[in-house]
A = this chain, B = another copy of it.
Amino acid sequence: MSRGTVSRYVNGERYVSAAARESIEAAIVKVGYVPNTAARNLVMQRSQAVGFIVHEPHALFVEDPNIGEILLGANTALSEADHQMVVLIVDSERDTDRVARYLSGGFVDGVIIVSARANDPISRVVERLAVPAAYVGHPPGASTASFVIIDNSGAARAITERLIGTGRQRIGMIAAALDRDSGADRLAGFTAALGDRFDERLVEAVPLYSYSAGRDGMQALLERAPDIDGVFAASDAVAAGALEALRAAGRRVPDDVGVVGFDDSAWAKRTLPALSTVRQPAAGLGRQAALLVLDQIRGVSAPNEMLLDSAIVWRDSA
């Protein structure tokens, strides 16, 4: 039998006689044949794989439960579409170059990108190669890629308003990651909610959505404005850190100061007191991003955008 026949058999096409089928099966076990997908990809010009690019600062990747959730959501959707998700971690300059080469190598038919920053080299490569792409969050620059977002600004505004509603007078914010749209938008929502009452001395900007940044930020806020009685932390991890600083300073939560977070991640239910926060559909973000790339890969649709709902969860911290 010829390679052609074997190929047909392996791909389950019709027109393979029982006799051929049998001898092929025998040969396969005898030789221990496994199809070489790389060769197939070369001729097929597709890989049935989608990259998931994570470009987070070290600490955050480890402690942010959101990204794990997004990852799993994306994997589920890709798996259902019989695509392999390969996650690529960008943790250094070298990584950037290598990942760029990987993408041009035709190893993936599309990519999902989380937390890209303005002027991200990876984004530029993706755009130049015209690889189907979907961002979780706003794409940097004037990209033509798809993206999924939540209304960070609106949600921040809503939760701040509820904080106001509980009678807090001196409300501050620990703003994080202002170089990303999510961070900037949350601050914008906070500002909008406060209106006239906004006092810039009550906002402390920290670099990362991290526990330690939250602790430090709260400390700074307490020094600058000891009369603070409410704080919106840009994420649950930040809020958890703030809680520690508050505790160290002898302030009771929510009695002396109310605090609210953002994400409804694993942190939220496990801090003491449990956090009032914004629920973010992390797995849904991943899933939708996956569906958006798949659409582009299939040529079904042009790049598209999508807004997912978030909701306020009221617990004990405010």
Residues of A within 8 A of B (CB): 32, 34-42, 47, 49, 58, 61-63, 65, 68-69, 71-72, 75-76, 79-80, 82, 84-89, 91-92, 94-95, 98-99, 101-102, 104-107, 128-129, 211, 240, 244, 266, 270, 272
Contact = CB atoms under 8 A, between A and B. Distances in A.
Contacts of A79: 91-92, 94-95, 98
A47 B38 contact: yes
6 contacts: A35-B104, A38-B47, A49-B102, A61-B68, A61-B71, A75-B89
A47 B86 CA distance: 14
Oligomer: number of copies: 2
Nearest to A62: B68
Please report whether the interface of chain A is mostly helix, strand, loop or mixed according to DSSP: helix
B240 A270 contact: yes
A211 B107 contact: no
A89 B69 CA distance: 12
A202 B99 CA distance: 51
Given A37-B106, A39-B42, A86-B86, A91 B62 contact: no
A267 to B, nearest CB: 9
A36 B270 contact: no
